[in-house]
């Protein structure tokens, strides 16, 4: 392994954030730095900043996730933010949704190795699992797509009055302003930009929170969801 790909020692903040699951967080970081790189899930240049930029940046998302809810991490990739969130919040029931086989294989290996019984790995795209996966309270995502496209995938997976939490960068405010009309058509009733991770990450992690009303995804997706649910019930009866 080249010098630029060496995993640094975990910062002190990691012990405080992950608590009793700190050893599991270290093991996950080691897996990302090794198999994650060789299997093309993350770039080697990300290894030196795995803790601050990736694990801790994702773990602090827990500050705005309600207790005991169901979560779907859309486009989970190498498990970010889903796995760090699972390590700090064993009260959550988390689904890691990812379409690529090599990534879901890695995610399943990590989940089994770390003993994350409250995490399920599902291979598929959000639009493909609509109506087959139970609607969730919270959808999470990180660096998946522009906000309007991301919302089109994630919002329909929500329960009524659920919320999508998207980790975004410095342009979050501008991105949110430019997508308000599209979000409204998807049944979104409230949006805000939050900053989390005080005393843990610098700069703070930026989260776009999108809350829906009675019809997540809007009327078009309500019809599609109902049709998918009917098809699923018919198949079970056969």
What are 156-196's pLDDT values in tens digits? 999 999 999 999 988 899 999 999 999 999 999 999 999 99
pTM, full prediction? 0.90
Instruction: Mention every residue, 6+ apart, whose C-beta is less than 8 A from residue 129.
Output: 97, 122, 157
Q: How many CB atoms lie within 10 A of CB 93?
A: 19
* d(C-alpha 39, C-alpha 46), whole Å: 14
28 closest CA partner among 82, 64, 71: 82
* Mean model confidence pLDDT for the chain: 92
Does pLDDT of 52 surpass 60? yes
Cα–Cα distance for residue pair 118/94, rounded to 1 Å: 6
- Whole-angstrom distance, CA of residue 91 vs CA of residue 119: 11
* Cα 127 from Cα 156, distance rounded (Å): 8
pLDDT category at 24 given cuts 50, 70, 90 is: very high
Name the residue with higher pLDDT: 225 or 84: 84
Element holding 97 (H helix, E strand): strand 93-98
Q: Of 136, 185, 127, 195, which Cα lies nearest the Cα of 161?
A: 136
Q: Which residue, among 153, 165, 161, has the nearest Cα to 187 in the 3D structure?
A: 161
Task: Write the DSSP symbol of residue 7.
Answer: P
Contact 94, 73 (CB under 8 A): yes
Helical residues (DSSP H) of 72-211, grouped into ranges = 82-88, 101-114, 126-129, 147-154, 172-178, 180-185
Q: How far is it, in rounded angstroms, from Cα 224 to Cα 128?
A: 11
Place of tokens 């599609």: 224
Residue 123, beta-bridge partner list: 98
pLDDT band at 2 (very low <50, low <70, confident <90, very high): very low
- Distance between CA atoms of residues 154 and 148, nearest Å: 10
Q: Which two tokens stand for residue 234?
A: 């018919």
Count how many residues are written for the chain: 238
């Amino acid at each position: 392994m080249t010098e630029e790909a060496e995993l640094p020692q975990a910062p002190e903040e990691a012990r405080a954030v992950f608590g009793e699951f700190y050893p599991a967080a270290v093991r996950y970081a080691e897996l990302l730095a090794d198999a994650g790189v060789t299997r093309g899930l993350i770039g080697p240049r990300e290894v030196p900043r795995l803790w601050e930029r990736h694990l801790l940046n994702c773990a602090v998302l827990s500050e705005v996730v309600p207790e005991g809810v169901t979560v779907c991490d859309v486009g989970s990739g190498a498990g970010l933010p889903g796995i760090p969130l699972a390590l700090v919040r064993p009260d959550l029931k988390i689904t890691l949704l990812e379409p690529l086989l090599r990534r879901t294989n890695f995610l399943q290996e990590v989940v089994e190795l770390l003993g994350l019984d409250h995490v399920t790995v599902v291979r598929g795209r959000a639009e493909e699992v609509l109506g087959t996966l139970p609607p969730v309270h919270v959808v999470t995502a990180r660096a998946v797509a522009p906000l309007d496209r991301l919302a089109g995938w994630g919002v329909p997976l929500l329960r009524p009055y659920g919320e999508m939490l998207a980790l975004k960068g410095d342009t979050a405010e501008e991105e949110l302003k430019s997508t308000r009309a599209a979000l409204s058509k998807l049944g979104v009733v409230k949006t805000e930009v939050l900053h989390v991770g005080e005393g843990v990450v610098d700069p703070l992690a930026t989260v776009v929170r999108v809350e829906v009303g009675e019809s997540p995804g809007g009327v078009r997706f309500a019809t599609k969801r109902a049709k998918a649910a009917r098809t699923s019930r018919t198949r079970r009866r056969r």
